Structure 1
Amino acid sequence: MSDREFVVDPFTQTEVRVPSGIWPEQAIEHARRSRNGELRRIRFFLDWGHRYPLWEDGSDGYTKEPGDYGLSADLGERLHAWYQTWAQHCSPEHGWSDEQLHQVWLVAGHRLANEVELEVYDFAEVIREFDR
């Protein structure tokens, strides 16, 4: 399945994205659980002082770490490396030092968000806020 696959939700008659590695039936159930407020909402973005792009409103502690969601160690390390690239090459005053690096970083961020989404799909949804 590609990341661009969609299925029509039989309840809402709207298209639901089917992430790579997820069955259409799982995506429909995920959409139902999202509508009913049954999923945790992981906000995926970076900010100074927190070394992972994991945040969650309405939980114990707004800042989260990979272990809070049971993410694999390898994914946790790559999330931190992604943060380090941002911290080293993007300043609050001047933005990115290299636009090409910024574009590579954005692509990597979407890949990482996809991986987080797969690892938490049974209990959470990932809200991408890093590319706004």
Structure 2
Amino acid sequence: MERVIDPFDQTELLVPPFATSDMTIARAERARRGEIREVRFASEHGHRWPLWDVIEGPLEPYHLGISAELTAKLRRWHDVWIANVSVKSRWESPAVRQVWNEEGRGLALELFEEIWWSADVADVHWDDGLGVYG
């Protein structure tokens, strides 16, 4: 992955494949001004979407400007969780759980790419680790 030096504080920044060095430096400036929010990607009972702002709480896709295509994918993915996990029970099918986890990792990366300019994404949907993109 490409790296660039932030001219403000001389820190090394990773340039995502979908961004340029200039965009990455500009985003770092936005972060210094407190303009990058942290979004947690996780399904929870009682909320329609797997999107959470660490300060404001539950989010809807329109709050983040997510595309219609990704919104539909998130809806289908979250619906699988709702259909398979209740408040009192966990996954009955390890195979369905594994596929759901793998799809979730891919969706978290898609989400990060779409909202990168305004947010970091903490992928906490899965129960075997933690991924933070940003």
Q: What is the distance in 2 between the residues matched to 1:25 and 1:7?
A: 11
Name the counterpart of 1:111: 106
Which whole-Å deviations, capped at 9, do the CAs of 1:51-107 have from their partners, x for residues lacking one?
211111333xx2111111111112111111111101111234332111121111111
Unmatched 5+ residue regions in structure 2? 130-134
Output aligned runs, 1:78-117, within 5 Å.
78-117=73-112
1:57 matched to which residue of 2?
Answer: 54
Instruction: Report sequence identity in percent.
Output: 31
Mapped to 1, the partners of 2:124 and 2:5 lie a distance apart of: 25
Equivalent residue number for residue 117 of structure 2: 122
Counterpart of 2:72 in structure 1 is 77
* Match of residue 41 from structure 1: 38
Give the Cα–Cα distance (whole angstroms) in 2 for the partners of residues 14 and 27 of structure 1.
Answer: 11
Aligned 8 A contact 2:45 2:87 in 1: no
Q: Which runs of 5+ in 1 are unaligned?
A: none
Q: 1:86 to 1:29 in 2, by over 3 A?
A: same
Q: What is the DSSP-based 3-state SS (H/G/I as helix, E as strand, rest coil) of the residue aligned with 2:49?
A: coil
Distance change (3 Å), C-alpha of 1:104 and 1:9: farther
Match of 1:7 in 2: 3
Q: For the aligned residues, what is the CA RMSD?
A: 2.3
Instruction: Name the CA distance, whole Å, in 1 between partners of 2:96 and 2:16.
Output: 26
The DSSP-based 3-state class of the residue aligned with 1:113 is helix
Q: Aligned residue pairs: how many?
A: 125
- TM-score, structure 1 as length reference: 0.76
CA distance in 2, matches of 1:12, 1:48: 43
Report the residue type matching 1:30 in the other structure. Answer: R
Q: TM-score, normalised by structure 2?
A: 0.75
